Structure 1
Amino acid sequence: MAHSADPRPQSTLAVLGPVARQTVQDQVYSELRRSLIQGAFDAGEVLRIRDLAARMSISTMPVREALARLISERALEPLPNRSVRVPLIRRAHLEDLAHARALIEGELTAMALPRLTSADLKALRAATRAYDNLAAGRIETAREAADLNHDFHFRIYRAAGSDVLIPVVESLWLQSGPYIRKAAEIFETGRDAPATNHHHALMEAIEAGNVQAGRKALVADIGRAFDLLRQRYEFDREAA
């Protein structure tokens, strides 16, 4: 007598493998990504896989995989000796980044402005106050300022509701990290307007519901760092 077929559906979970290494790789990627966005690395700085692995107390494999992801996102450049480096500050790329960020982030701000909730406004005001209160001159403060700036902008951008544009902006911020770092080094207290000025102007536009003024303040905020580099950075021949 033939046996009837097992009525239980075969689980597709059998095709899945262990995820522990992938989890570590994601953590490494997130930490390196955050550091790049914060401008923690100098333009042209070489990152060696073994050094990074030793610093993070992990094997080289997840570091290699994380770096490959960041290279694909143009946040890092491969070198012939299997190391990678933070891209040099190049004049053409500076102009390209500045143009792309103004276009995309300006549009996201315009899209987001009528959709921001009272909770969003409360969070944006708190971030602006915290940014104002930071004391200058300490590495911890610089990293905290970068995080506050990121949270402020992306709170606005996510309100736009565009799942397509957000990853594009994240990639642009990754590529902008060394430019922002160098601009911060060039910044002169008392000579240059602080970044919070533009945040306050943007908040005023948001609270007034003025889309045009909001876009203008956002573009001015983005352009501040790039303008400092245009005016005072000495581009070398390799980075021209």
Structure 2
Amino acid sequence: MPRRKDLPGDAPPAPGREPLSPVGRRTVQDGVYTELRRSLIQGLFDPGEVLRIVDLSERLGTSTMPVREALARLISEQALEPMANRSVRVPLITRARLEDLARARALIEAEVLGLAMSRIGAQEIDRLRELTDACDAVLAIRDQEVSGEAADLNHAFHFTIYRAAGSEVLLPIIESLWLQSGPYLRVSARHYAPEVDGSATHFHREITEAIAARDAVAARAALRADIGRAFTIMRRHLTEETA
């Protein structure tokens, strides 16, 4: 193939160096998006909390542009909602939205677990047990407070299963549902009472042992119960607020 002639204004590459592609702003934007996304999934923001671009840029140590672009992505994923004053808000809790999220998560995540059943091997099952033990250890140290570390372990547990399904279509849908559920789970964690609601990892152990036994019915039932418990706590909280 003939080489193109140098165009006017082309700068020759420095001797002995390959030309580089610009990466700066794109890399920062992705980093800001990833951090905000992680924070939402962990439930580090309250429902109804207003997120201001200047405040976030200061906390993240970056300019406002990558924050603005990351927030736009999260709005498109329904994890955040725009406000009239150009700020952004975590969606408020409503019973209709609560029920919609609970139903969607139970349906889709149980289906993906079923797809993953035949693909999860002994190594993944051992990993699920390790993550459950690690979560118990964190909760014991923090006196059952659901911390960011516990939230990360919970996320890792579930997505070890979901990734095993090998669905490039369903996995992003689940990720979007987790983004939207995070602030609800933050409130749920505040009202979680072990003496009433049971061990935080009880259903994780049931899910793991059902997978190990290749019992899809039991695994799905335990998963639905795990998802449902957090939303049941939220329903109880909403009832108490309106009583």
- Fold match (TM-score > 0.5): yes
Q: 1:230 Cα deviation (Å)?
A: 1.3
Q: Does 1:186 align with 2:191?
A: yes
Give the Cα separation in 1 of the matches to 2:50 and 2:239: 20
Whole-Å separation in 1 of the counterparts to 2:92 and 2:30: 26
- Counterpart pick for 1:174 among 179, 186, 197: 179
Q: Which consecutive unaligned segments of at least 5 residues does structure 2 have? A: 11-19
Shift of 1:18: 2.8
SS in 2 for 1:18: coil
**What is the CA-CA distance between 1:17 and the residue it aligns to?**
6.7
Q: Deviations over 1:66-118 (max 9, x none)?
A: 00000000101111111101110111111110111011000011110111012
**Is the Cα–Cα contact under 8 Å of residues 90 and 235 in structure 1 kept in the other structure?**
no
Corresponding residue for 1:218? Answer: 223
Could you give the per-residue CA deviations for residues 39-89 of structure 1, whole angstroms, max 9, x where no partner exists? Answer: 001110111000011111111000000000000001011111111011101
Deviations 1:206-232 (A, max 9, x none): 111100101100010000110111123
From the superposition, tell whether residues 25 and 138 of structure 1 become closer, same or farther in structure 2 (CA, over 3 Å): farther
Question: Residue 165 in 1 paired to residue 170 in 2?
Answer: yes
Corresponding residue number in structure 1 for 2:3: 8
Q: Equivalents in 2 of 1:170, 1:220: separation in Å?
A: 19
Task: Name which of 188, 193, 198 aligns with 2:203.
Answer: 198
Residue 41 of structure 1 is aligned with which of 38, 45, 48?
A: 45
Q: TM-score, normalised by structure 2?
A: 0.88
The residue aligned with 2:137 is: 133
Which of the residues 28, 31, 52 maps onto 2:35? 31
1:131 and 1:148 in contact (8 A); partners too:
yes
How far 1:189 sits from its partner (Å)? 2.9
1:60 paired with 2:64, answer yes
Letter in 2 for 1:34: R
RMSD across aligned positions (CA): 2.1
Distance change (3 Å), C-alpha of 1:42 and 1:235: farther
* Letter in structure 2 aligned against 1:27: G
Give the letter for the 1:136 counterpart: R
C-alpha spacing 1:186/1:107, structure 2 compared with 1 (3 Å): same
| Bigger mean CA offset, 221-230 vs 17-26 | 17-26
Q: Partners of 1:198 and 1:35 in 2: how far apart?
A: 24
- In the TM superposition, residue 235 of structure 1 has moved relative to its aligned partner by 8.4
What secondary structure sits across from 1:114 in the alignment? coil
- Give the letter for the 1:227 counterpart: T
Equivalent pair of 1:77/1:84 in contact (CA under 8 Å): yes
1:233 to partner: Cα distance: 2.0
Number of the residue aligned with 2:23: 19
Q: Distance in 2 between matches of 1:109 and 1:197?
A: 18
Kindly tell me the number of residue pairs found equivalent between the two proteins.
227
CA contact (8 A) 1:89 1:235 kept: no
Letter in 1 for 2:31: Q
CA distance in 1 between counterparts of 2:101 and 2:221 reads 17
Opposite residue 87 of structure 1, the aligned amino acid is: P
Counterpart selection for 1:142 from 147, 153, 159? 147
* TM-score, normalised relative to structure 1: 0.89
Report the 3-state secondary structure (helix = DSSP H, G, I; strand = E; otherwise coil) of the residue aligned with 1:81: coil
- 8 Å contact kept, 1:91–1:235: no
- Gap change, CA 1:7 and 1:53, over 3 Å in 2: same
For residues 121 and 9 of structure 1, do their structure 2 counterparts lie closer, same or farther at Cα, with a shift above 3 Å needed?
farther
CA contact (8 A) 1:110 1:211 kept: yes
Q: Distance in 2 between matches of 1:236 and 1:81?
A: 29
Q: Distance in 2 between matches of 1:153 and 1:9?
A: 52
8 Å contact from structure 1 (residues 43, 86) kept in 2: yes
Which amino acid is the alignment partner of residue 19 of structure 1? V
Gaps of 5+ in 1: 1-5
